[in-house]
């Protein structure tokens, strides 16, 4: 198998509800997300996929939807407050853990036609999560 990986950096804020730890308070991360695409056969350019295709598919979406936003559970009381102030939020159906955000990036990549095999997302340099479908 061949695989290529594109690394994308972005910043986000979040907090976890129904959770007893530091992450119940609003805080931010400098995230790194790695998009891995695999194939058995290379295309006519001798590529798994052009890195610029990964960038076009998913980096632009991350920049537009997640970068410098608060990612919150839909029923978080902070949502109404931030929206009233005109602050950008991205809402999830469940707690915005690094695992859940990795899955979000995976699902959006697939929806956009990117044959992604695995998404790994670093919340800190020593903590990361992987989702592979």
Structure tokens, 100? 């859940």
Residues from 5 through 64 that contact Zn ion (CB under 5 A)? 23
Smaller CB separation from Zn ion, 17 or 23: 23
CB of 120 to Zn ion, least distance (A): 16
Smaller CB separation from Zn ion, 24 or 80: 24
For the four alpha carbons of 115, 56, 54 and 106, in that order, the dihedral sign comes to: negative
CB of 123 to Zn ion, least distance (A): 6
Q: Which residue is nearest to Zn ion (CB)?
A: 23
Calpha distance 122→5 (Å, rounded): 14
Residues touching Zn ion: how many (CB under 5 A)?
A: 1
Smaller CB separation from Zn ion, 37 or 72: 72
Calpha distance 80→113 (Å, rounded): 33
Q: What are phi and psi of 6, to 5 degrees?
A: -110, 130
Structure tokens, 45? 């350019």
Calpha distance 111→15 (Å, rounded): 26
26 Cβ neighbours under 8 A, 6+ residues apart: 13, 14, 15, 70, 78
CB of 69 to Zn ion, least distance (A): 14
CB of 17 to Zn ion, least distance (A): 13
Smaller CB separation from Zn ion, 23 or 91: 23
| Interface contacts to Zn ion, rule CB under 5 A | 23
């Amino acid at each position: 198998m061949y695989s290529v990986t594109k690394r994308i950096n972005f910043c986000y804020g979040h907090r976890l509800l129904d959770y007893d730890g530091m992450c119940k308070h609003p805080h931010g991360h400098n995230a790194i997300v790695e998009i891995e695409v695999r194939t058995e056969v290379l295309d006519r350019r001798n590529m798994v996929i052009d890195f610029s295709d990964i960038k076009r598919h998913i980096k632009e979406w991350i920049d537009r939807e997640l970068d410098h936003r608060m990612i919150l559970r839909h029923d978080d009381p902070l949502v109404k407050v931030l929206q009233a102030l005109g602050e950008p939020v991205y809402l999830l159906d469940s707690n915005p853990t690094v695992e859940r955000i990795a899955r979000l990036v995976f699902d959006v990549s697939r929806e956009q036609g990117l044959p992604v095999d695995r998404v790994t997302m670093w919340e800190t340099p020593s903590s990361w999560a992987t989702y592979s479908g």
